[in-house]
A and B are shown apart, each in its own frame.
Chain A
Amino acid sequence: MLTCGFADPVHDAQAAFRALLEATARPGTIVSLPQSGAPQPLPEAAAAIALTLCDRDTAVWLDACLATPSVCQWLRFHTASPLVADPADACFAFARADTAPFGSLSTGTDEAPERSAILVLLVKGFVPGRVLRLSGPGIETEKVLSVDGLPSAFLAWRAGNLALYPRGVDVLLISGNKAAALPRTTVVQEV
């Protein structure tokens, strides 16, 4: 059965966007993105991101464990986004942290670095697992973010991503209805 989108499409999308704006402007800040109608196994925050930012202009890629018929149907109905098979074509890639196609995502071009993918990365939770020390624009001095379920490949990939600047992939870490952003400018180090 098709579950619902935002109960109030205008104001719920605005609230979710403001949370994402705050999260992106202040990397490592954990924000709430509730969305009661998320189809299993798509977490609430991922559903809220899709409803807020995705539409027919944004190609969406889902990893194998998320690309269930109910999720695909829900995304097509509520966002009209084209679902693509190759992560390199995606504007938004939704993936589990352990199976994410880090290296295959679009990083934009030197002249149009904004034409890169946003990676919505599903992690286990914002509890001690890996303790990350963040710095860069949006962070006054340093910020500490605990994330459970990040593979070690993530940190190596982030270092390479940072070296590409201004090209690069922007990451939204999500778990349940919580999200935190790691835009391409954020320096991520393990404590």
Chain B
Amino acid sequence: MNAISYNFAYLDEQTKREIRRALLKALAIPGHQVPFASREMPLARGWGTGGMQVTAAVIGRDDVLKVIDQGADDTTNAVSIRQFFGRVAGVRTTTRTEEATLIQTRHRIPETPLRPGQIMVYQVPQPEPLWRLEPSRAETRRLHALAEYGIMHVKLYEDIARHGRITLAYDYPVLVHGRYVMSPSPIPAFDNPKLHRSPAIHLFGAGREKRIYAVPPYTDVVSLAFEDHPFRPWKAEAACALCGSTDTYLDEIVIDDRGTRRYVCSDTDWCERRRAQGRPV
């Protein structure tokens, strides 16, 4: 049987070159959204096509790839993207955070601290942090050009006026290198501090919206807040039911029809290894 053969990592070289140029510009202007062509991928837009294109442009034969979906290595999106690159690039894959050189992620940053030499690739549904406040892209480009982020601060202020606190739990806007307000992708606000002066490279790809942006290592990434209402990320007040962890981000699982809940680590690799080290509840 003759299998259809693709170029290494699926994308053609011309497309990779365009993405590579966008990535270098994105690193040079931290937090600024760089437009790119965004090709059709063999899955629907909204399922991680931006992240996959970034991964395809970056990945090499020696890379070890980890893919997570909300922290888990074993959910559909993570499994199929990992298998995809196993097939079209023939790279080694892993679930271990510290073994990976390239980590494609949907909506989480691993609990295991990242190190130099690792590249994070984020799947981004909506790269424009101002989109709920200003529907026109021509206008948001202008606001970014002028560093005019008043509407975002007013939104956060109105949250406090109405609810007593900033109500954003995920996709919490950050100020990068003191210049651009950026969407950190829908990671929980709990993960935002991990971006600040991280030793790893962080690349963001939005396929449907055709934008690439980046945070270089050791770059200031500050979650927006007010002096009298400091940034306070939300986390369930519970311990992981599997490993007993109290300092990780927890998923809430409803386990019966009377509303009983359990909390377990969202990062499956971290939780599994903690249990393997004999630290169960």
Give the B-binding residues of A (Cβ under 8 A): 9-11, 13-15, 17-18, 20-21, 24-26, 52-55, 57-58, 109-114, 118, 137-140, 165-166, 170, 183-185
Contacts and interface: CB of A to CB of B under 8 A. Distances in A.
A21 B24 contact: yes
Nearest first, the 4 closest Cβ-Cβ pairs linking A and B are A183-B28, A110-B145, A137-B219, A114-B25
B13 A10 contact: yes
Contacts of B145: 109-111
Task: Name, among B18, B25, B220, the residue most crowded by chain A CB atoms within 10 Å (CB to CB).
Answer: B25
Given A18-B58, A138-B216, A24 B142 contact: no
A20 B13 contact: no
Interface stretch (B29-37, B76-84, B158-166, B233-241): B29-37
Contacts of B219: 137-138
Contacts of B20: 17, 20-21, 52-53
Contacts of A54: 17
B218 interface: yes
B29 A184 contact: yes
Nearest to A110: B145
Nearest to B138: A111
Interface string B1-43: 0000001100001101110111111111110101100000000
5 contacts: A11-B60, A17-B16, A55-B18, A110-B146, A114-B34
A14 B142 CA distance: 35
Given A137-B216, A138-B219, A166 B7 contact: no
A21 B177 contact: no
Interface in B224-244: none
Task: Name, among A10, A11, A14, the residue most crowded by chain B CB atoms within 10 Å (CB to CB).
Answer: A14
A25 B144 CA distance: 22
A114 B22 contact: yes
A18 B55 CA distance: 12
B142 A111 contact: yes
A23 to B, nearest CB: 9
A139 B145 CA distance: 25
B61 interface: yes
Task: Name, among B28, B60, B199, the residue most crowded by chain A CB atoms within 10 Å (CB to CB).
Answer: B28
A65 B243 CA distance: 65
A13 B177 CA distance: 30
Given A21-B201, A137-B177, A138-B217, A183 B144 contact: no
Contacts of B119: 21
B29 A24 contact: no
B180 interface: yes
B179 interface: yes
Given A111-B142, A137-B219, A25 B27 contact: yes
B32 A25 contact: no
Contact of B141 (A9, A55, A57, A111): A111
B141 A114 contact: no
Contact of A184 (B14, B28, B35): B28
A110 B179 CA distance: 12
A24 B219 CA distance: 13
B29 A114 contact: yes
A127 B177 CA distance: 31
